[in-house]
Structure 1
């Protein structure tokens, strides 16, 4: 930022824009200019793809069919790509008529190259390239390396070489890191077909806590039920004793001493219960077939009450493994294998040239022309085929070949 600038000189929109700089913003990582951004995005997202589709339809160039939804996806994706490369690629300072002219040169020239019969090739199929395809692609590689040499020289002049090269390695990681990602995915797929361990370990920890806690709660409730049953049984016994004594006294007042020795039968519980008074006490004696199980309508005591005991480690492990086989993945049915696929790297030309577009950030005429060319080739890729991922499923590639 200019040392003489004040807060009032930089508003909400142009706060990242440097108006005076020895290298016209090349030594600044982030910059933004609203009007140039609108023009840049309109060219990259709307005008360029529209021109290509019209020219491709006229000459019947190689392209994918796209519906309205596909075009909408290209526009939304292009908005994100355009904003990132504009703010980090210094296009707020370097975008102008030179970049715009060479943008359409790069777009139409690359479209013409793909029209050649021997240029209908892809980067993953380099082993089957013809001699002519090798010559053209080798010449293109030489031009890219020559342009890279000039830009490294300009970066050295601007005093940003210590940032320029490391940032290029970091940006190009999106092109070479998928080789490692693919290897890691296939390794996990072959050795851990049940999915990534971090999710399963997190869920396993939760299940271990829940299983242990549910067992403790279950034991607590059963102890409470047993205590309640014991209190109910005690109260029933007390009630039975009081009731039997009252019945005995009532019957004694209306009979003589001989009748007291005769047993009194009462229908209590499931069978007849007899009461007899002993000769040396007024304590009632209860006799009956169901005396051990029922006393004056007392609730039957369960003969085999299940008792909750602590689960063994094997039982806990069995419960956890069963629940781990039924994780709530929306794209996987319970009990079936996870949707794991083998992938194949498919490096697209638009991904290469989009990465290069971040480093054509200098105010020189050649740098602006290179910026237009690489942006034009990027537009050809996403306008013709879409913003395809770098790693594609092998089944998906097979389906595309059959079509």
Structure 2
């Protein structure tokens, strides 16, 4: 039984505007078609063609399986795949999976996005062609058409639809803030200098009422001598590595319409997402490294 748990525009358009929905049998089919079958298929083909693959132990395959179950469950519920999944999506998925895998094998594309300052000339050529050529136009056309599809429904659906882009943006921003704090001791240093500045102003004005026992205890661990930076208490550093599986996983939430263009788009972004999982696994956005 399909359970449309929330609708923004009434029961007549629940299929397109459900905030979340779930059907157990359809989710089983979704996980079978978009994970269980392509995972070993891609690894066998990639191994035969000598494509790049991470060596995975049985434990890592097991971990990826259950990570995939969790990620795909969230995507299925909030990506509206109860209604969006179609034979068109499946037909677009499998060719795209191997086409993207072949593109990823080009020597010029074997460089990660975070290493943009170390990209070879070939990677820049591919990037600029994608940015200025047909791929750029196709991406903009897909994005624009999905916003157009969202506009076909009553307000505030299109506003909520576009605003949801702030969710992954907020997650990414918080990751960079975390890296800044751990790597540069930013927050503690800011707190220390703000407190010292306030203390100096209070001393100049003769106001000593802020020297309560609680404040003394809270700040007793801070250095009393004048310093420009504080010792970093963290014993590791953080690096941010944005993987292509994360980008396409996010995009898969927005191909939520029962329209052939959206269903084709869903197959393509699901394929690009799964190529990263099949080849490398669920690599993390935030990584800890020893100093």
**What corresponds to 1:165 in structure 2?**
162
In structure 1, the gaps of 5 or more residues are 1-12, 193-312, 322-336, 397-403
Structure that is richer in helix per residue: 2
1:150: which partner in 2?
145
1:134: how far off? Answer: 2.8
Partner of 1:26: 16
Structure-2 separation of matches of 1:356 and 1:131: 28
Q: Does 1:376 align with 2:271?
A: yes
Aligned-residue offset at 1:177: 3.0
Matches within 5 A, 1:132-281: 132-138=122-128, 139=130, 140-159=135-154, 160-188=157-185, 191=188
Report the CA distance between 1:142 and its aligned residue.
4.6
CA–CA separation in structure 1 for the residues paired with 2:235 and 2:288: 10
Cα 1:354/1:119, change in 2 over 3 Å: same
Contact 1:33 1:92 in 2 (8 A): yes
Q: Secondary structure at the match of 1:393?
A: strand
User: Following superposition of structure 1 onto structure 2, how do residues 387-402 of structure 1 map, counting pairs within 5 Å?
Assistant: 387-395=282-290
> Matched residues in 1 for 2:93 and 2:40: separation?
14
1:304 maps to what in 2? none
Q: 1:358-391: per-residue Cα shift (whole Å, max 9, x none)?
A: 0000111010011011111111111211111112
> Equivalent residue for 2:236?
341
Deviation at 1:147, TM superposition (A): 1.4
2:3 matched residue in structure 1: 15
CA deviation digits over 1:150-193, x for unaligned, max 9? 1111111123111111112123322343122211222438958x
> Which residue in the other structure is 2:42 paired with?
52
Q: CA RMSD in A?
A: 2.7
Q: 1:153 to 1:173 in 2, by over 3 A?
A: same
Q: What do the CA deviations read for 1:294-339 (whole angstroms, capped 9, x no partner)?
A: xxxxxxxxxxxxxxxxxxx9xxx8xx99xxxxxxxxxxxxxxx977
- With over 3 angstroms needed to count, the CA separation of the structure-2 counterparts of 1:21 and 1:95, relative to structure 1, is farther
SS at match of 2:3: coil
The residue number in structure 2 matching 1:92 is 82
Q: Structure 1 residues 173 and 190, CA, compared in 2 at 3 Å: closer, same or farther? A: closer
Q: 1:68: Cα distance to partner?
A: 0.7
| Structure 1 Cα separation of the partners of residues 169 and 12 of structure 2 | 28
Instruction: Give, in angstroms, the shift of residue 146 of structure 1.
Output: 2.7
- Aligned with residue 83 of structure 1, among 73, 82, 90: 73
SS at match of 1:25: helix
Give yes or no for the alignment of 1:63 onto 2:59: no
Structure having the higher Rg: 1
Q: Residues 5 and 19 of structure 2 are in contact (CA less than 8 Å); yes or no, is this contact kept in structure 1?
A: no
Could you say which residue in structure 1 is the equivalent of 2:209?
Answer: none
Describe the shift of the 1:51–1:24 C-alpha distance in structure 2 as closer, same or farther (beyond 3 A). Answer: farther
CA contact (8 A) 1:103 1:372 kept: yes
Deviation of the 1:86 alpha carbon: 0.4
The separation in 1 between residues aligned to 2:173 and 2:162, in whole angstroms, is 16
Shift of the alpha carbon at 1:125?
1.2
Looking at structure 1, the residues matched to 248 and 86 of structure 2 have their Cα atoms a distance apart, in angstroms, of: 19
Aligned residues of 2:4 and 2:18 also touching (Cα < 8 A): no
Partner of 1:367: 262
Return the TM-score normalized by structure 2.
0.75
Going from structure 1 to structure 2, the CA distance change for 1:187 and 1:346 (only over 3 Å counts) comes to same
- 2:236 and 2:16 map into 1 onto residues whose CA distance is 44
Which residues of structure 2 form unaligned runs of 5+? 190-212, 222-231
**Cα displacement (A) at 1:40:** 0.6
Count of residue pairs brought into register by the alignment? 243
C-alpha separation in 1, matches of 2:124 and 2:13 = 38
Aligned partner of 2:25 in structure 1 is 35
Q: Show structure 1 runs of 4+ deviating over 6 A.
A: none
**Shift of residue 343, structure 1, vs aligned partner:** 1.3
